[in-house]
Copies of this chain bind each other. A is one copy, B any other.
Amino acid sequence: MALKHKGLEFEALPWRFTEKEAIAPYKSSTVPVLVDGDQSVYDSWAIALYLDEVYPSRPRLFGGTEARALADFFCQWAVKSVHPAILRVLILDIYEKLHARDKAYFRESREKRFGMTLKQFAGDQKGAVAAFRGALEPVRPVLVQNAFLSGNGPGFADYILFGMFQWARTVSPTRLLEPDDPIYAWRERLLKMYDGYAWKAKGYPVWA
């Protein structure tokens, strides 16, 4: 979404958890990795900063230093509060859809991180969805007042949160939002942007 925002052409390469050797040349063990000519950057935040720095004349992901610091806070909050909550909803669906080659690595690394089995971490799924919706509480009043978290148009804060929803629909049919939730309409706006780029991606329909 950040590359679409910048209007930059790109090729997206499918990648599996255990294909560490494919990204090792770029000094990363995790995705995303951006390769731009002879430059490479990993980590979504670092990639966003890189894009605005190297392509300053294209639409900005951050409106200025103030918006960038506040977007940094938003991303920190999303990673610490929303990501664990959505992961609990998705974890068993992710595991189920993984390539056989990745299953052992995924299970081992995540069970070590959580200190419990995937099934224990997933727990009661109705409760997990309710907790995920609850974690999003501070977002709602902002989206009642503004079309996007970044105001009139989307910025990097929008893409960070939207990315979690897009990740969800690639693996899980779970209905994450009710249609009367202001976050539902916001997600729809982002799904439709850039000629429906996110909407056309493989995944379960969000209205399921």
Contacts and interface: CB of A to CB of B under 8 A. Distances in A.
Main secondary structure of the interface of A (DSSP, over half): helix
A181 to B, nearest CB: 15
A206 interface: no
A33 to B, nearest CB: 21
Instruction: Say how many copies of this protein the assembly contains.
Output: 2
B151 A73 contact: no
A150 B76 contact: no
Contacts of A145: 69, 72
B141 A70 contact: no
Given A66-B63, A151-B65, A151-B66, A146 B72 contact: yes
Interface of A: 62-74, 76-77, 80-81, 137-139, 141-142, 145-146, 148-152, 155, 157
A40 B95 CA distance: 57
Nearest to A141: B76
B142 A76 contact: yes
